[in-house]
Structures are given as C-alpha cells and as structure tokens.
Amino acid sequence: MQQHAAEGTHKLQRKLKSRHLTMIALGGAIGTGLFLASGNAIYTAGPGGALLAYGLTGIMVYFLMTSLGELAAYVPTSGSFRTYAARFVEPSFGFAIGWNYWYNWAVTIASELSAATLIMKFWFPDSPSYLWSGLFLILIFLLNALTVKGYGESEYWFAFIKVATVIIFIIVGLLMIFRILGGGVPGFANFTVGDAPFHGGFLAAFGVFLAAGYSFQGTELLGVTAGESEHPEKNVPKAMRTIFWRILLFYILAIFVIAMVIPYTSPNLSITDTVMVSPFTLVFQKAGLAVAASVMNAVILTAVLSAGNSGLYASTRILYALARKGEAPKFLAYVTSRGIPIWALVVTTAFGMLAFLASGFGDGIVYNWLLSASGMCGFIAWLGIAVSHFRFRRAYVAQGGKLSDLPYRAKWFPFGPLFAFAVCLIVIIGQSFGAFTGGKIDWGSVISAYIGIPIFLTIWLVAKWKMKDRLIPLTACDVSRHEDAGRE
C-alpha cells in the first residue's frame, strides 16, 4: 500500500476556532443516551445502580479523553485514530482502526436519521419515513459540503441548545427538590422506594454499565476536529479541561435529579420500542410545564441531527486520511478549494442512505439493527486510543522526549490508559451477557452484539499479512511533529 495518494493542490483548512472546539467537546457527551437512556437506566438498576454505572463509565471516559487530548495536541490530525495507531502500534493496526471508525460513524449516520424519522412522527404521524430521512440527509450533507467552518458553526449551535436544555433541566429539578417549585417531590424518599437505591443487584447495575458506554460515544470527536482547528496546541487542551465537569454536570447531576423527582418504579422511565419518551419530559411535566413534550422532542431531534452531522464529518475525514495513505481509493483524497474532501463526503453520505430502508421494513426495526451493527465499533476505537497513547508516551520517553515539552500532558499515566483499556475490554466482552442469563441462549442477540469483533480482527489480520508488518519497537516509533502531521 502506497504512502500517499494524490489529492490535488488543496488542503484541509484550519477554520475551527476555540469556541467551536469547546462546544463540540461539550456537545459530544450530550445525546439520546442522556435524554432517553438515562431514565431506563434508573428504571433498571435503581438510582444508586444508575449513578454507580454512569460514574464509573464517566471516570473511564475522562481518562480516555485525556489520553486523546495528549495525542491530539501533540499531533493534530483529522485522521487521528488511524494515524496514532499506525505510528505507535503498527501500520496494519492503524489500517483496521481507521476502517473500523469510518464504518462506525457511517452506519451511525443512518441510525440517527432513522431516529429523526421517529421523532418527526410525533408531530406528523402519517408522514412517510423517506421524506424525513431524505430531508435530514440533505441538510447534514450541505452543512458538511460548504466549509469546515459551516460544520463548526452548526455543531456550535446544536451543542448550545443541548447544553442550555440540560442546565435549565438541572436548575428546574433542583428547585423542585428544594420545594421552591411545585411537583410534590418527597425529598430523598425516592432513593428508598422498594429496594432502592440498588435495584436488581449486581447484574442490573452491570447491564446499565454496559449501556452507559454507548451514551458517551462521540466524546472522541474532538480528536478528529483537532486537525482542522486553529492553534490546536492551545485549543485542544482548553477543550479537554472541560471533560470532567461536563461528565459530572450533564450525566451524574442529571441522573441524580431524575432519580430524586421520579421514582425508579415508574413505568414511564422504561423505554421499549420508541425513542420519543424522555425522563426530561417527565420532570418538566411534573413541574407544571405543559409544553415539555414538544420542546423535549425538538431538543432530542437536535441531539440526533447533531450526532448525524458529527458522524458525517468524522467518517469523511477518516476516509480522506485512509485515502491519503493509499489505504482507500485515491480519488477519495481529493480536496476542494474550500478545504472539503468532497468525494469522501459523497461516498460516506451514500452509506447514510441506508436510512431509507426504514420506509420498507419499519422504523424501529431498522433503527435497532443499525445501532447494534455500529455499537461495538465505538468501543474498539476507544481501545485503539488507549493502546496508542500508552505506546506513544513510552516511545516519547524512550527516545529522550521531555514531558514538559508536551502541549498537553495526561495525568495519572500509565494508570489512565490502562484503566480505560481494561474497562473497554470488559464492556466489549460483556456486550450481550443478558443473552446467556436466561434458560435459552438468544443467538440472534449474540451475533448482532459481537459481529464487530470478527470483522475488525479479519481486517487487521489480512492487512497485517499483506503489509508484512509487526509491532513497532518503541525506539522506532515516529514521535516527531513534522510539518505534515496536521494534514494526515
């Protein structure tokens, strides 16, 4: 495989400002996982089990993102995951990580468009699915096709809406808890209802812990945007420093408010075959805000479109990076005068058209299938980040690098990446543990949950065989900050 593919005379442009990166970092943690899955987590494991599961996942994501922050500030590149894995582990591993991450987000685009269709049917129940899937696909394509600043601005406002909603929700919830607002909240009584705070024991909390990981997927997008940001050595660390507080504020505090206001025994917290019920809506309604349902559906729609918008951006840049290294067709490395890898964008958008299947097979079925198909890939990418950072730091020190020279240094090394690796591995192995706990194994669930593992290993091993490579010695890893690093 050739080192570089022809891409014309144009390059990606550094147009993302500090405020874009900060809001992308903030908004990356806020999605349907918080607005929808958090209520189901409380219903399944009780308030204590949900807080424990999300808290542990939050700690893992914190260490993971500080690892990525160190890498992205040192070598800011739009092909970050592929580049770091190829430089600090081995080229075939980078190849497999790159294609894995592209597939993850390309499929996520389709699943988010399917979810957007379900949400629109809250207002237009008799409308055809393909209408909304098509309109939203065109919208996010145009946002990505104009300029990278267009993507940055759209994500800035998407994230602003989500952040504002969560802050208002927490304020309203706290006012209810302290009896300043109405709603009949009985103090801490909901933490002692039934067998709360830990309902269902260890297995229930473990199941929520596995699901919580999906809620945090997307936080790693900051590593991709670093390649097109102004002054990444300053702006990336600035955005990374908000990680701990956003996890604490947006997840832990939000779940605490929900659990205080709504008892875990409430069947309204359970989500089965719809993506239109939100615990945020329940709390707002309890506070006497009658328009809560429509407002929250609009916010959830914003979160879904934000995920699709970011997914299209990330998968396009990864595909472009693969093409630049000769690991994808050369024409995909072409960049327009506005700094857009247009053919990589078109090909990735074509994958998003899978959402049109929703009109023929039923919205919920397609959404759940697409979600299962892409879920595992995100955790594999996180494993790649942890391994790459561990190897980078060891190689950097082995080659005489001074830690004081790093633009951003992840704390608690090597515990951080090792802890993140271990937790990700547990989540991957335990993906479908529920299928084995009943009297009969649900093989359909097992296959859909684990299919990503053999696919990834096959791609990696085939690439390893073709490239004839092996693990790069620490003293031979490329730890330079060469001029082209930000354009890989």
If you search the block for the tokens 């297995």, which residue do you land on?
203
Is residue 79 pLDDT above 80, yes or no?
A: no
Q: What is the DSSP string of 400-428?
A: T--GGGSSS--SSTTHHHHHHHHHHHHHH
- The b-or-e profile of 160-192 (16+ CB within 10 A means b, else e) is ebbbebbeebbebbbebbeeebebebeeeebbe
Neighbouring C-beta atoms of residue 225, cutoff 10 Å:
30
Examine residue 25 and state whether it is found in any structural domain, yes or no.
yes
Of 237-251, 349-363, 397-411, where does the model show the most confidence? 397-411
Examine residue 481 and state whether it is found in any structural domain, yes or no.
no
Average predicted confidence (pLDDT) for the chain: 82
pLDDT band at 360 (very low <50, low <70, confident <90, very high): low
Is residue 433 pLDDT above 60, yes or no?
A: yes
Examine residue 487 and state whether it is found in any structural domain, yes or no.
no
What digits encode the pLDDT tens for the residues 211-222?
788 788 878 887
Is the Cβ–Cβ distance between 229 and 21 less than 8 Å?
yes
Cα–Cα distance, 103 to 177 (Å, whole number): 44
| CB burial of residue 467 (10 Å; 0-12, 13-18, 19+) | middle
Examine residue 488 and state whether it is found in any structural domain, yes or no.
no
- Residues facing residue 16 across a β-bridge: 229
Examine residue 184 and state whether it is found in any structural domain, yes or no.
yes
Examine residue 9 and state whether it is found in any structural domain, yes or no.
no
Range 334-357 average pLDDT:
83
Q: How far is CA 109 from CA 9, 24, 32, 356, 371, in A?
A: 30, 17, 14, 12, 10
For residue 140, give the CATH number of its domain: 1.20.1740.10
What digits encode the pLDDT tens for the residues 10-52?
666 666 777 777 777 777 678 777 887 888 888 888 888 899 9
Confidence at residue 384, expressed as pLDDT on a 0 to 100 scale: 94
Is residue 358 pLDDT above 70, yes or no?
A: no
Q: How far is CA 425 from CA 86, 371, 379, in A?
A: 21, 19, 8
Confidence at residue 119, expressed as pLDDT on a 0 to 100 scale: 81
Q: Which domain holds residue 321?
A: 18-468
Confidence at residue 67, expressed as pLDDT on a 0 to 100 scale: 93
Among 105-109, 244-248, 378-382, 464-468, whose mean pLDDT is lowest? Answer: 244-248
pTM score, two decimals? 0.86
Q: What are phi and psi of 287, to 5 degrees?
A: -80, -5
Confidence at residue 32, expressed as pLDDT on a 0 to 100 scale: 74
Q: How many domains does the chain have?
A: 1
Examine residue 413 and state whether it is found in any structural domain, yes or no.
yes
| Residue 487 half-sphere exposure toward CB, CA atoms < 13 A | 17
Nearest Cα neighbor of 133 from 152, 148, 151, 114 is 114
pLDDT band at 367 (very low <50, low <70, confident <90, very high): low
Q: Which residues have a Cβ under 8 Å from the Cβ of 234 and sit 6 or more positions away?
A: 18, 407
Neighbouring C-beta atoms of residue 366, cutoff 10 Å:
24
What digits encode the pLDDT tens for the residues 272-312?
655 456 888 888 888 888 787 778 888 888 888 888 888 88
Q: Which two tokens stand for residue 263?
A: 């008892």
Confidence at residue 5, expressed as pLDDT on a 0 to 100 scale: 42
What digits encode the pLDDT tens for the residues 125-181?
888 877 888 898 899 899 888 888 788 888 888 888 888 888 898 998 888 888 777
Is residue 355 pLDDT above 90, yes or no?
A: no
Examine residue 347 and state whether it is found in any structural domain, yes or no.
yes
Between 416 and 250, where is the model more confident? 416
Confidence at residue 321, expressed as pLDDT on a 0 to 100 scale: 86
